[in-house]
A = this chain, B = another copy of it.
Amino acid sequence: MNAPSKSIAPNCSDCPIRHRAVCARCEGEELERLEEIKYYRSFEAGQTIIWSNDKMDFVGSVVSGVASLTQAMEDGRTQMVGLLLPSDFVGRPGREGSAYDVTATTDVVMCCFRKKPFEKMMRETPHISHRLLEMTLDELDAAREWMLVLGRKTAREKIASLLSIIARRDPAQVAQPASKAVAFDLPLTREAMADYLGLTLETVSRQVSALKRDGVIVLEGKRHVVVPDMDRLLEEAGDDSDGGHLI
């Protein structure tokens, strides 16, 4: 037991991640069954949600906040292998333990399902396992995109890549995708950024300062980032996306 349970339990139909989480395809009776086996759980920033190699008795979705998956070597080197934002799924059906530590990087609310009933439901309702397959394929794509970042990009490009990813997934941005300017809060400390990027925190700090000095980003405090020109940031990231201007 490493966290108090907190019963906020809104209806699934009011849930902010309803249309993107593992339950996205469920309706009516299926949703009612999920509603029966679900419960909410809150974690404070810094708390461990699941220890690697621990038995997991639940799976679930991040409702709000940011969590991270990290892998560690015995000498202390650690690598973050996944960033879990709202609607992302935690846990692996069909396997006992987690392969990674799952940690709350900000305060987190999770919608949990007890593992056994969830696995039973998966076997019986194709909507859930199809959605989970789709989400897993997306995560695999994201992991592979990240392999390019880790293996081939420079420190400066790595920082720009991370900022682009966070900007792209920030809910505040989705509303106004037409605008070139973007602003968001960094949900990660410099050390967490370093663990994600395979760098040291000093290098992260230096490269953030360099991007600021060059006008690619503007910092308001340590954590609030303004990107005056998103295309410029993508260019710095080494992505050939071209801002979507085809032809």
Contacts and interface: CB of A to CB of B under 8 A. Distances in A.
Contact of A133 (B133, B141, B197, B198): B133
Interface string A187-221: 00000000001100000000000000000000000
A176 to B, nearest CB: 27
A153 to B, nearest CB: 8
A140 interface: yes
Given A134-B94, A139-B140, A147 B146 contact: yes
A12 B148 CA distance: 37
B79 A152 contact: yes
A224 interface: no
Contact of A148 (B79, B123, B126, B133): B79
Interface residues of A, number: 40
Contacts of A151: 79, 150, 197-198
Contacts of A81: 144, 147-148
21 contacts: A71-B145, A73-B238, A77-B152, A79-B151, A81-B148, A95-B137, A100-B144, A123-B126, A126-B129, A129-B129, A129-B130, A129-B133, A132-B133, A136-B140, A140-B143, A143-B143, A143-B144, A143-B147, A150-B150, A150-B198, A151-B198
Interface of A: 69, 71, 73-75, 77-79, 81-82, 92, 94-95, 99-100, 123, 126, 129-130, 132-134, 136-137, 139-141, 143-148, 150-152, 197-198, 238, 240
